[in-house]
């Protein structure tokens, strides 16, 4: 979110407690994050990180060429770009999320700021969530990308997969983008969700996962 104000506002108007991730330094990140907050939607930062495919990450992204002080300063500047952020997730990052040292720097910084972390899981080799967990950061990870393929048929397949995971595990996280086809689909599909499925904010989902984890642990100890 942040590049296109029209599609951004359309996304914010989707029903349900959706969490919105804003790229810092985009033209509309500040105004749209304010609009999401005013609509009582949760805001997080879509923090650019270096990747394995040399995909451009935009200005002021996190890389392993930064010193620790530069790394932390980059995070601080990004946070100033997105008002009301409660957490972050990684934009790309298939390279950097494999780096334990940089992920430890990140989690140390987020802990001081009381922000949660969502691993977008752009690589199966990511250590980000593991290090977040080890450092007592509230954390979860993406289950499904909704629109790697932007066709309506493939978005529907991904959405139905997300629902199945949620029914099986109790929770699931899907990540989508404010593409026209994605918005068209979600505007139609969300109101049709059955009573057994509820859209909740990421922070509430993390809390629910923690509660279920404690319940399982308590049951196992009996």
Expressed in angstroms, the distance from the first to the final Cα of the chain is: 46
More confident residue, 205 or 215: 205
- CA gap 97, 91 in Å, rounded: 10
- H helix intervals, the chain: 5-12, 29-38, 68-81, 100-113, 128-134, 152-169, 180-189, 202-221
Angle at 48 between CA 128 and CA 30, to 5 degrees: 120
- 1 in helix, strand or coil? coil
Q: What is the pLDDT of residues 61-80, one digit of tens each?
A: 999 999 999 999 999 999 99
Q: Is residue 159 a contact partner of residue 185, using CB atoms and an 8 Å limit?
A: yes
- CA gap 18, 146 in Å, rounded: 14
- In words, the CATH class of domain 5-221 is alpha beta
- CA gap 207, 11 in Å, rounded: 24
Q: What is the pLDDT of residues 98-153, one digit of tens each?
A: 999 999 999 999 999 999 999 999 999 999 999 999 999 999 999 999 999 999 99
- CA gap 153, 165 in Å, rounded: 19
- Size of the chain, expressed as the number of residues it contains: 222
pTM, full prediction: 0.93
Angle at 188 between CA 184 and CA 189, to 5 degrees: 110
Residue in the block written with tokens 């404010």 = 178
């Amino acid at each position: 979110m942040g590049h296109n104000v029209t599609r951004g506002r359309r996304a914010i108007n989707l029903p349900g407690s959706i969490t919105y991730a804003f790229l810092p330094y985009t033209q509309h990140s500040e105004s749209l994050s304010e609009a999401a907050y005013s609509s009582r939607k949760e805001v997080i930062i879509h923090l650019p990180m270096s990747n394995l495919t040399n995909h451009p990450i935009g200005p002021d992204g996190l890389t392993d060429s930064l010193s620790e002080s530069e790394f932390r300063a980059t995070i601080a500047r990004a946070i100033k770009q997105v008002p009301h952020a409660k957490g972050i997730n990684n934009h790309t990052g298939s390279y950097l999320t494999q780096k334990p040292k940089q992920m430890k720097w990140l989690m140390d910084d987020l802990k001081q700021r009381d922000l949660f972390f969502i691993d977008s899981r752009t690589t199966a080799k990511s250590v980000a969530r593991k290090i977040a967990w080890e450092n007592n950061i509230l954390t979860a990870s993406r289950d499904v990308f909704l629109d790697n393929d932007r066709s309506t048929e493939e978005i529907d397949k991904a959405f139905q997969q997300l629902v199945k995971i949620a029914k099986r595990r109790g929770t699931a996280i899907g990540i989508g983008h404010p593409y026209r086809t994605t918005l068209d689909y979600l505007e139609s599909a969300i109101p049709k969700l059955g009573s057994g499925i509820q859209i909740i904010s990421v922070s509430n989902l993390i809390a629910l996962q923690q509660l279920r984890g404690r319940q399982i642990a308590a049951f196992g100890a009996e």
